[in-house]
Amino acid sequence: MTIPFLNLTELHAPLKQEMLKELDEVLGQSSFILGGKVQQFEEDFAAYCGVDHAIGVNSGTTALHMALLALDVGPGDEVLVPAMTFVATAEAVRYTGATPIFIDIEPGRMTLDPALIEKSITSRTKAIIPVHLYGLMADMPAICAIAKKHGLKVIEDAAQAHGAEVDGRRAGQWGDIACFSFYPGKNLGACGEAGAVVTRSADLDEQVRILRDWGQEGRYNHVRQGFNARMDGFQGAMLGVKLKHLEKWTEARRALGKIYWEKLADVPGIVMQAVPDDCRHVYHVLAVLVNNRDAVQTALSDSGVQSGIHYPYPVPHLKSFKSMGHVMGDFPVSEAVGKKELSLPMCPTLSKEQIATVCGTLKRSLEDISS
Ligand SMILES: *Cc1c(COP(=O)(O)O)cnc(C)c1O
């Protein structure tokens, strides 16, 4: 019996009738772009995040791009980003003509290291994008304090962190603006591409709404360079159905995360992502660090346990970022995570017994490989 990394078909099965009814309504209204379902979802998602405004767009990457433009980031500007993240964080910065400046992550927590920020700030630095990696919030109190001191904007990349909290405040409530992805595999996923920008600022809300809809302020009144970045009606409808279950699913992920901790935290050769006491980790990814990662992954796969890697290379070491001239050794913590990180099965539909099987198989594989 295979243990899947993620099983969306099983997750959606109990909601299928409701989802089909919603799709039927969108079809009946022909409200394919934005429309009532998207508007309702925007209101509900803003409330979920505890902010006043959410703007639906067509991907998480677009959310980052629009957020940067709303803050007037452009050519000549520098934006600080963690070296260990999905490539989209840095690509969105390049789309604006600005330069991503990479910073290493903290050991343990594995998010942007606040202690390394100040030495990377120059007269060109305009913003910081902390990434809430694997569903664990970056150290937002420290990062926001540094940003405030230096007059920098903060854009949260919350693509992996729907409902995550630090200090009792949710992802989306810390930065000037925050970006979510609803890629199907994320904690809240659409049935296709979708994303959202959330903010407490009415001005930024207005700018993102203008940007996502061809730079229009009212029909055919194009006031700035704009984009076709709107969320589609079917996705708004699917997200509306799924949002109602997000807290329950998040609690299921946290319960599975707890079992992983009980079974793996004291095992020699396994390092877990360190979760500070003031954080609500939403376990988008259950990340462990192990030696001989690729061999361990193969052994798991041979025993029917699916796993993933997030991510094998720090972004500045990707070929596409070669022109920035970084070399091995520039980002030691990110480089170690790239070599050792293994993502174990994590899905609200998994059972305790399945997690126990994963942990047993992992322990045996580690013993076999190191002996
Ligand atoms: C998924 C992801 C994105 C991009 O979201 P898309 O919806 O796939 O465009 C950006 N940043 C991070 C950290 C992500 O995990």
pTM assigned to the model: 0.98
pLDDT at position 119 over 90: yes
3-state secondary structure of 181: strand
Helix 246-264 vs helix 352-370: crossing angle, to nearest 10: 40
Domain limits, the chain? 8-103+110-243, 247-370
Write the CB contacts of 249 (distance below 8 Å, at least 6 apart in sequence).
11, 187, 348
Task: Summarize pLDDT for 120-131 with one digit per residue, the tens.
Answer: 999 999 999 999
- Residue 370's pLDDT is 83
pLDDT of 334 strictly over 90? yes
Pocket of ligand 1 (CB under 6 A): 59-61, 85-86, 88-89, 131, 157, 159-160, 181, 183, 195
- How far does the centroid of ligand 1 lie from the alpha carbon of residue 86, in Å? 7
Question: In CATH, what is the architecture of 247-370?
Answer: Alpha-Beta Complex (3.90)
Structure tokens at 101: 């400046």
Q: What is the distance in A from the centroid of ligand 1 to the CA of 158?
A: 9
pLDDT over threshold 90, residue 371: no
- pLDDT tens by residue, 259-277: 999 999 999 999 999 999 9
**pLDDT tens sequence across 54-71:** 999 999 999 999 999 999
Q: Shortest CA distance to 264 belongs to which of 364, 365, 359? A: 359
| pLDDT band at residue 187 using 50, 70 and 90 as cut-offs | very high
Residues 8-103+110-243, CATH architecture? 3-Layer(aba) Sandwich (3.40)
* Distance from residue 192's CA to the centre of ligand 1 (Å): 13
Domain 8-103+110-243 identical in fold to domain 247-370: no
Checking phi first, is residue 151 left (phi over 0); if not, alpha (psi -120 to 50) or beta? left
For ligand 1, atom 6, the nearest C-alpha belongs to 60
| pLDDT recorded at residue 277 | 97
248, pLDDT greater than 90: yes
Is the Cβ–Cβ distance between 177 and 127 less than 8 Å?
Answer: no
> What are the beta bridge partners of residue 271?
289
The tens digit of pLDDT for each residue in 194-228 reads: 999 999 999 999 999 999 999 999 999 999 999 99
The per-residue pLDDT for range 124-160, each reduced to its tens digit, is 999 999 999 999 999 999 999 999 999 999 999 999 9
**At 1, is the pLDDT very low, low, confident or very high (cuts 50, 70, 90)?**
confident
Predicted local distance difference test score (pLDDT) of residue 131: 98
Question: Rounded CA gap, 127 and 72, in Å?
Answer: 10
- Are 325 and 315 in contact, with CB atoms under 8 Å apart? no
